[in-house]
A and B are shown apart, each in its own frame.
Chain A
């Protein structure tokens, strides 16, 4: 049983999806999906512990030994991201029962659960697989399921958002396969570790550089790297609440992981960062994302879009850490996957509760008036998660900013530090807009005091607690990130 954990973590949600479709019941669908999510979480935690004691695990799928068969590879980095995805899934699955009840037509609910399981299986598969083409297949499984989930949003513009995401996502995936194809032409193998091994003997670098460019742009589209982020705000804003929370905490994060994996475990980091301006390009794009997207968020009227724009800015912090390419920067990037994941998960989960109670399709900032009276816990949670987005000490967001500033100083980039501070100020502005309306504006006449339903509130507050917890107890986010950084060969000397 233990030996098959790497397969099990993907197979559980993957098998749950057709089971849900056959059972045709929203309630049973919810139970099966939740069970699959918790099962995946247990597997992921066991795998993380296993990697801690035994080192990297390799699993030959169907007993075909790598590099001929598909290899599932669990190492310090992938186990870390696996736990993040499975943890988010385990928190949003119970949340989804009430959220789907309010937002999705009854005859589509069980199908939504099946789609959720497919999206989860795809994301977990992307993380665990050690095969370039298998990664593409999982990428498409999770993407197609995600497009459907977004299209299930209650407003008709959800359809347009899903369509736009589908166009850009498919172009991104196509670019990714082109990159893999070029690598395959040069090395004759699809196993990531094997590609890395054989690339050292390749003397003709041009196709390899083309592959690097295609993979960077392709994965960049999926992770909403500025300026390839156009799909994200509408997709997050129009999706059902549970889907927004799930995607905001996982989808872009897994793509970041894929990029990291290619940069450090496949392409030679020396070629990448010293002979090519990869770092400089990433730093400039990330700083642009941090400033421009935050500025847009400051002027945004729709609350969900506001926080979606904030996601674009926060992904900028992650890519900034990669661009700085030192131990502190990479630690910041990996830790921010968790820190931003829990903060955004909290925000979208809480907003789902607000939307449920206020009943409006789109929730404007003004619609939060008097939230502290109507839903005190929700308003408080929003404020805490917002503080984490700003990076106030005592919250998870601060930990990331601390390491990012250290990394930028180590590189001697004073202007990057200034940009981080400026972006934090902008974040403080947009978070303040929300908090000000929630706490200082009077509630509209006739508003009743009612928190979100128990299970939804509990899941959302669990995210909020994690925001604070990871701000003080950093053994998971920073500790595991450090181990992963060491694994990537960029540990502190």
Chain B
């Protein structure tokens, strides 16, 4: 019990990662897949940020009376990772919008069905 409680942030990380990837694999809806992808990415944020936090630590500022401080580097790294995640999500959503325009659906099986019906040879649109 103690092992679970003292490492709860890692359990949360694992749950987010596995849950996110499960959604990516199991859902046929392209929007929902992207949501799963974002959830999986957010597990990384937690993985980096949680160990950077020290209980009782302050911000890394040199001042009288403060000896322990939290490591700021993971937070900065994750700011970058969040930006990357936002860019990926934005691009993913943009592609899904264009898929909707081209196919009229965002369900993976329907898209594959349309592709199959079309056959391999087709002139440019």
Which B1-49 residues sit within 8 Å CB-CB of chain A? 17, 21, 24, 30, 33, 37, 40-41, 43-44, 47-48
Q: B84 contacts A137, CB within 8 Å? A: yes
- For A302, give the chain B residue with the smallest CB separation: B120
A residues 144-197 in Cβ contact with B at 8 Å: 144, 147-148, 151, 154-157, 159-160, 162-163, 166-167, 170-171, 173-174, 177-178, 181-182, 184-185, 190
B102–A144 CB distance below 8 A: no
How far, in whole Å, are A360 and B103 apart by their CA atoms in the complex? Answer: 20
Q: Chain A binding site: helix, strand, loop or mixed by DSSP?
A: helix
B70 contacts the other chain (CB 8 A): no
A156 to chain B, nearest CB (A): 4
A234 and B102 CA atoms in complex are apart in Å by 17
- Contact between chains at A155 and B125 (CB < 8 Å): yes
Q: Is A39 an interface residue (CB 8 A)?
A: no
For the complex, what is the distance from the CA of A90 to the CA of B65, rounded to whole Å? 59
B95 touches A140 (CB 8 A): no
A171 to B88, Cβ gap below 8 A?
A: no
In the assembled complex, the Cα of A156 lies from the Cα of B40 at a distance in Å of 28
B24, B30, B80, B102: the one contacting A137 at CB < 8 Å is B80
Chain A residue with minimal CB distance to B24?
Answer: A167
- Tell me the bound Cα distance from A187 to B91 in angstroms: 34
Chain A residues near B17: list those with CB within 8 A: 174, 178
A278 CB, nearest partner CB in chain B, Å: 23
How long is the Cα–Cα vector from A141 to B48 in the complex, in angstroms? Answer: 21
* A 376-402 to B, binary, CB cutoff 8 A, 1 in contact else 0: 000000000000000000000000000
* Complexed CA–CA distance, A443 and B100 (Å): 39
Q: Which residue of B lies closest to A188 (CB)?
A: B71
Closest to A133 in B: B77
Decide if A455 is an interface residue (CB 8 Å cutoff). no
- Assuming the contacts A160-B111, A163-B30, asked whether A181 and B44 have C-beta atoms less than 8 A apart, the reply is yes
Residues of chain B lying within 8 A (CB to CB) of residue A182? 47
Q: Is the CB of A140 within 8 A of B84?
A: yes
Q: Is A58 an interface position by the 8 A CB rule?
A: no
Q: How far is the CA of A171 from the CA of B48 in the complex (A)?
A: 17
Q: Are A178 and B122 in contact (CB under 8 A)?
A: no
B64 touches A (CB below 8 Å): no
Assess whether A166 is in contact with B95, with CB atoms less than 8 Å apart. Answer: yes
Measured as residues with beta carbon below 8 angstroms from the partner, the interface class of chain A is 35 or more
Q: Which residues of B contact A359 (CB under 8 A)?
A: 123-124
Q: Which of A144, A167, A184 contacts B87 (CB 8 A)?
A: A144
A362 at the interface (CB under 8 A from B): yes
- A50 interface residue, CB < 8 Å from B? no
**Cα of A399 to Cα of B22 in the assembled complex, Å:** 43
Known contacts A133-B80, A167-B24; decide if A178 and B47 are in contact (CB<8 Å).
yes
* B43, B88, B123: residue with the most chain A Cβ atoms closer than 10 Å: B88
B109 within 8 A of A: no
Distance from A149 Cβ to chain B, minimum over Cβ atoms (Å): 12
Residue from A160, A301, A361 within 8 A of B123 (CB atoms): A361
Q: Looking at the assembled complex, report how far the CB atom of B48 sits from the nearest CB atom of chain A, in whole angstroms.
A: 5
SS class, residues of chain B in contact with chain A: helix
B72: interface (CB < 8 Å): no
Q: How many angstroms between the C-alpha atoms of A156 and B41 in the bound complex? A: 28
What are the residues of chain A within 8 A of B115 when measuring CB–CB? 157, 160
Considering the chains assembled together, what is the distance between the CA atoms of A302 and B122 in angstroms? 11
| Contact, CB under 8 Å: A361 / B91 | no
* A137, B92: Cα distance in complex, Å: 18
Whether A362 lies near B122 (C-beta < 8 A) is yes
Q: Would you give the shortest CB distance from B115 to chain A, in whole angstroms?
A: 6
> Which B residues are in CB contact (< 8 Å) with A148?
91
- Contact check, B121 vs A360: say whether CB atoms are below 8 A apart: yes
Q: Are the CB atoms of A155 and B122 closer together than 8 Å?
A: yes
A279 touches B (CB below 8 Å) = no
Contact B40 A174 (CB under 8 A): yes
> When the two chains form the complex, which single residue of B37, B81, B103 contacts A167, counting CB atoms closer than 8 Å?
B37
Q: Which residues B73-100 have CB closer than 8 A to chain A?
A: 74, 77, 80-81, 84, 87-88, 91-92, 95-96, 98-99
Q: Tell me if B99 and A159 are in contact (CB < 8 A).
A: yes
Among residues of A, the one whose C-beta sits closest to the C-beta of B97 is: A159
Residues on A with C-beta less than 8 A from B77 are 133, 190
Q: Which residues of the partner chain A approach B57 to less than 8 Å between Cβ atoms?
A: none
Q: Is A491's beta carbon under 8 Å from chain B?
A: no
* Interface contact B98-A151, CB-CB below 8 Å: yes
C-alpha gap A174/B85 in the complex (Å): 10
- Once bound together, how far apart are the Cα atoms of A151 and B93, in whole Å? 13
Query: How many whole Å from A186's CB to the nearest CB in chain B?
Result: 11
**Does any Cβ of B come within 8 Å of A66's Cβ?**
no
Complexed CA–CA distance, A361 and B77 (Å): 43
Q: Does chain A have a CB within 8 A of B60?
A: no
| Contact A144 B88, CB 8 Å, known A133-B80, A157-B115 | yes
Chain A interfacial positions (CB closer than 8 Å to B)? 133, 136-137, 140, 144, 147-148, 151, 154-157, 159-160, 162-163, 166-167, 170-171, 173-174, 177-178, 181-182, 184-185, 190, 301-302, 359-362, 364, 367
5 contacts between A and B (CB under 8 A): A159-B102, A160-B99, A166-B88, A171-B24, A361-B121
Q: Which 3 A-B pairs have the closest CB atoms?
A: A156-B102, A361-B124, A140-B84
Known: A159-B99, A185-B51. 19 other contacts (CB 8 A): A140-B84, A144-B87, A154-B124, A156-B102, A160-B115, A163-B92, A163-B99, A167-B33, A167-B37, A167-B92, A171-B21, A173-B84, A174-B40, A177-B81, A181-B44, A301-B120, A302-B120, A362-B121, A362-B122
